[in-house]
Structure 1
Amino acid sequence: MNSFRKSICYGILCFAFLTCKSSAPSGGISRQAEAIQSPTVVIPGDYPDPSVAKIGNAYWATATSSNWFPAYPLLKSNDLIHWETKGFVFEKKPDWADYYFWAPEIAPENGRVYIYYTAHKKDGNLCVGVASADKPEGPYRDHGPLVCQKDGSIDGFPMRDENGRLYLIWKEDGNSVNQPTPIWAQPLNEERTALTGEKKELFRNDAPWEANLVEGVSMIRHGDYYYAIYAAAGCCGSACTYGTGVARAKSLLGPWEKYRQNPILTAEPLWKCPGHGTPIEKDGRHYFLYHAYSEQGGIFVGRQALLREFRFTDDGWIAFERNATPAASVAGQFRDDFNSSELSTAWNWSVFRQPVIQVRKGQLQLTAQPDKFGDYIGHRTLSPNYTAQAVVVPQANGPQTGLAIIGDDNNAIGVSAQDGQVRVWRLEKGKEQSLGTAQAGNTSAITLLAKVENGSRISFSYSTDNGKSFTPVGDRSIDGTYLPPWDRALRVGLTAKGTTSQTAQFDSFSLNSGL
């Protein structure tokens, strides 16, 4: 697929949520700093395991993409609040990896930018790899996997010891086989191509609140100590139990001491299961960029990137401020009229099948596929309540051209137009069911409309008069609770089902969040 891409700015979506009143002494904290002390969503939507670093005069972030592609979005900000997508680490999969692109860590050093990442090895298990570039926006060159343990290796983080020697910190994924989860450290050569020496265990899941795992370690050195901020327990899904703890040591290789008052970050009124992030310093103050599920959007919107200030306590630990939680309500709009020659960076697709797309003359052309619900591209959702519209161009003997709420390749609910008929369908575990049809007749364009409430109540309608009036089709409340995969959130997007000689045509797509 050609690189049909353009940047979009998340600044209009990263609402400051500044409605809380300050609990600080008069004149002590600016309005922006006050907002950051409370959990503030700065990158709304599905951005798990966020990582951030200052490079030059700007901040750069990335996040897990899992089985959505391209892998690892690259976002830029001047203030840690407003973010703009600048590209991706991988638009083509590394030769050694096939899926589960997790937990990237962005780490600049000596004029280069390194991305330590996790991916599933072909005919193997999860491994920690590394890629590098001369500048944060890339292009990135992959150096392959650094460590691939039998039970899996994930969540790589680079750190230098007190003597300046470079180490890779990572988790052995023992919980995948009902075993403990050691956090390891091992020397890494300066070329970032191989581990050297012997690995040493720093700590493992041995506290009751940590349950079956510790993971997502990021480190910061301050004063006499190295601090490891880590996540524990269940990361994902509606039954998640994630929390954040801290351990400290005067030497990188330990001994490590866990804080007796762990966890230091837990569920709050509007956010649950907080964890797996990166500390960052700005203007002499310390912040943590991490993910959490919103209580309202939950698994349907996904783990969103939050920013929060922390401080080092007098007794040598880390504490997050516990101000009143501000009201959080994401609302925003996205519209794509396909007037550029490049596809917007807002679009994703399956890591298992790269779509064939052309964008030209104000139209998106998507080559059809015959299986399941065809080929597709999807956009992140930002709220559990939203509407999406797609203007499709009917063709004689054309493919099923549609709009869908997408979980993955085997699970979706959508509406499609073909040969004058509009049909609502449901795909669960690869099996399709028709939920209703309507006759739209011969028309030059059909506007398909999806309405979603509470993340999972879905209904569809269509218009043949440029969106002036809509006719419902199918069930008025289709249950989509089965759609989200365990580790990621839904997308809403465009579909094309038919023979590979057929091409679906779309004039526009729009998404309106926060009904």
Structure 2
Amino acid sequence: MKKFFFYSLLQLICIQFTRAQQNVIPGEFPDPSIVEVNGAYYACGSSNDWGPVFPVYRSTDLRHWAFLSYVFNEAPAWTINSYWAPELYYHNGQFYCYYTARRKDGISCIGVATTKNIEQGFQDKGVLVEWGNEAIDAFVYKENEKLFITWKAYGLTQGRPIEVLGSELSADGLSLKGEAFTILTAEKNSWEAGGIEGQCVIKNNGYLYMLYSGNGCCGGGCNYQVGVARAKTMKGPWEKYSGNPLLQSNDDWKCPGHGTALKTKNTWAYLYHAYPAPGFPYLGRTALMSEMEWNKNGWPSFKPVPAEKRQGILMGNIQDSFSADKLAPWWRYDVASYNFKASIKEGELHLTEEKRNEKNKTGTALCVNPSVADFNISTKVTGRNQALKGLVLYGTNANSVGIGVKQDTIIVWSVKNGEYTEMNRAVIQNASVVYLKAMVTGARNMIFFYSTDNRTWVPVSGNKNDTSPVNADHLGWWSWGIKAGLFVKTDPVTGDNNAVFDEFNLLNYSSPSSNPDPKKKAGLLPANRP
């Protein structure tokens, strides 16, 4: 049994909070919310269709963040997918999470869950807001001892503009009270482009300020931006700032927005997401923090970032020897394709596809979130059977690419728009152990290798006639970034459906914008391994 179990995710998180627009949590963490409780800060982000649902991080200084728990280890029974915008709130000694999820009838609603101890997960209380075709992006604010909830409405209603609505909440925060009212209405012929969402409310100098996001949030065509409106009370009237938008894309970060602002002892801070420019839009949206200031007319702005003070993307390496008694918290699964069993025995991961879904051409995947666009992944596969098993780069179960071993055959494969294609293969003789690795650049180009001794590596291209890298442009997905990990696919003839992995490594290259030479990097040695 191996004796190391190492994860360097947080060792590189050491940044100066006085500088604006800093990546504070590595990897995918969209729609972040933040709350301060007794001197500690807690942040939570969207899971999209990935479980466990809604990761929670903790910090005492807004600079150093450590993973704490998940809101839900298993998705609430009333939900099927689209786990978005978890808004943390603390009230009367209890944590609340107001979250978005798609109900089994396909309609997105806002649910609520509570806990006394955030480290132990939340208890779901069910649907709180059901509003027409869609209710998403909750935010809760307390005004004059009354709780109010706000949300986005009419995003899927034809012929009606999108609005941010509000309603009073019951004293326990678990039900609506009174009639809903309109706060903001989206404008088509402005920077908002007909879309507003991701709002939060703060108070400063007698005004309530609503920071909100407009335009398209996600994917390669996004143009997300942040604006602000203000009012004296929650019921308005609300005035949009003529200087909007406050925050836009730049050379480093694309489509910023959907965050939460809070006041610290010395300043105002805004935690939000953006796409890293290197790897855009294949990498997921990650968490940034910017400092806010107030102009002479009482409107907020974000401090500019001089080029010489800009900092890059936080890198998080993962090396898992499977020496713990359960899966490490960085492992994620596609909730819609969750038909597998994973267990750790004597330093090995046993992954079994329990129920074959013929529409899922990828198989069962257990994945992690890459934090930068250039990285390599590797694993050691033990045992031989007819199940295809190995490494996967995963967009959705209908769009993926990977390298696997099946009995005595190495196979490079791709799934594009639900169609499986075997791209190349190589034959090995009587190997009880096979090492696999993939070198990824730009979050979509990759070269695959295999070895039987972990010393001599043989490249396997995506084309039988040349050695060109595999290009996986089809992995881009509007709602989340690529995942990297392990997979197993049931053999339809023998029924073999299990895989045994001895280790897994994800190691980043020195620069997220680098274009490494595969010949120099083939030894799987990162340039700046912590």
| TM score, norm. by length of structure 1 | 0.92
Q: Contact (CA 8 Å) 2:25, 2:314: kept in 1 or not? A: no
For 1:512, the aligned partner's letter is L
**1:281 corresponds to:** 263
Please state if 1:422 is matched with 2:410: yes
Matches of 1:483 and 1:267 in 2, distance apart?
23
Offset of residue 459 of structure 1: 1.6
Q: Contact (CA 8 Å) 1:182, 1:204: kept in 2 or not? A: yes
Please state if 1:377 is matched with 2:377: no
> Any residues of structure 2 matched to 1:275-354 within 5 Å, and which?
275-325=257-307, 326-354=310-338
Offset of residue 374 of structure 1: 1.5
Q: Contact (CA 8 Å) 1:248, 1:258: kept in 2 or not? A: yes
Offset of residue 255 of structure 1: 0.5
Unpaired segments of 5 or more residues in structure 1? 1-5, 17-31
Q: Contact (CA 8 Å) 2:316, 2:370: kept in 1 or not? A: no
> Helix, strand or coil: the match of 2:332?
strand
Deviation larger for 500-509 or 420-429? 500-509
Q: Contact (CA 8 Å) 2:24, 2:314: kept in 1 or not? A: no
Choose which of 378, 382, 386 in structure 2 pairs with 1:389.
Answer: 378
> Helix, strand or coil: the match of 2:120?
coil
For 1:241, the aligned partner's letter is N
Offset of residue 498 of structure 1: 1.3
Matches of 2:382 and 2:45 in 1, distance apart?
35
Offset of residue 328 of structure 1: 1.0
Please state if 1:139 is matched with 2:121: yes
Offset of residue 379 of structure 1: 0.6
Kindly report the root-mean-square deviation, in angstroms, between the aligned alpha carbons of the 2 structures: 1.7
Please state if 1:497 is matched with 2:489: yes
> Helix, strand or coil: the match of 2:298?
coil
For 1:106, the aligned partner's letter is L
Matches of 1:327 and 1:284 in 2, distance apart?
22
CA shift in 2, pair 1:460/1:266, >3 Å: same
**1:191 corresponds to:** 172
Matches of 2:431 and 2:159 in 1, distance apart?
58
**2:9 corresponds to:** 10
**2:509 corresponds to:** 514
Offset of residue 67 of structure 1: 0.6
Offset of residue 280 of structure 1: 2.1
Matches of 1:214 and 1:117 in 2, distance apart?
17
> Any residues of structure 2 matched to 1:15-26 within 5 Å, and which?
16=15
Offset of residue 444 of structure 1: 2.8
For 2:352, the aligned partner's letter is T
Matches of 1:265 and 1:282 in 2, distance apart?
21
Offset of residue 187 of structure 1: 1.1
> Helix, strand or coil: the match of 2:28?
coil
> Helix, strand or coil: the match of 1:422?
strand
Please state if 1:365 is matched with 2:353: no
CA shift in 2, pair 1:9/1:114, >3 Å: farther
**1:106 corresponds to:** 88
> Helix, strand or coil: the match of 1:127?
strand
Offset of residue 269 of structure 1: 2.1
Offset of residue 254 of structure 1: 0.3
Q: Contact (CA 8 Å) 2:136, 2:153: kept in 1 or not? A: yes
Q: Contact (CA 8 Å) 2:27, 2:316: kept in 1 or not? A: no
Choose which of 402, 412, 416 in structure 1 pairs with 2:400.
Answer: 412
Deviation larger for 315-324 or 6-15? 6-15
Q: Contact (CA 8 Å) 2:82, 2:102: kept in 1 or not? A: yes
For 1:195, the aligned partner's letter is L
**2:250 corresponds to:** 268
CA shift in 2, pair 1:314/1:236, >3 Å: same
Matches of 1:77 and 1:512 in 2, distance apart?
25
**2:133 corresponds to:** 151
* Residue deviations 1:174-204 (CA, integer Å, cap 9, x gap): 2564631111111111222221110110111
Please state if 1:79 is matched with 2:61: yes
Matches of 2:438 and 2:96 in 1, distance apart?
40
> Helix, strand or coil: the match of 1:155?
strand
For 2:184, the aligned partner's letter is F
Q: Contact (CA 8 Å) 1:51, 1:106: kept in 2 or not? A: yes
Offset of residue 13 of structure 1: 4.2
For 2:403, the aligned partner's letter is V
Unpaired segments of 5 or more residues in structure 2? 463-467, 511-530
Matches of 1:175 and 1:247 in 2, distance apart?
24
Offset of residue 58 of structure 1: 1.5
> Helix, strand or coil: the match of 2:191?
helix
CA shift in 2, pair 1:327/1:93, >3 Å: closer
**2:241 corresponds to:** 259
Please state if 1:480 is matched with 2:467: no
Offset of residue 398 of structure 1: 4.3
Q: Contact (CA 8 Å) 2:395, 2:476: kept in 1 or not? A: yes
Please state if 1:444 is matched with 2:432: yes
Matches of 1:168 and 1:71 in 2, distance apart?
22
Matches of 1:15 and 1:444 in 2, distance apart?
43
Matches of 1:213 and 1:10 in 2, distance apart?
35
Q: Contact (CA 8 Å) 2:49, 2:334: kept in 1 or not? A: yes
Matches of 2:368 and 2:106 in 1, distance apart?
30
Please state if 1:470 is matched with 2:457: yes
> Helix, strand or coil: the match of 2:481?
coil
Instruction: Calculate percent identity across the aligned residue pairs.
Output: 33
Offset of residue 148 of structure 1: 1.4
For 1:145, the aligned partner's letter is V
CA shift in 2, pair 1:308/1:7, >3 Å: farther
CA shift in 2, pair 1:13/1:407, >3 Å: farther
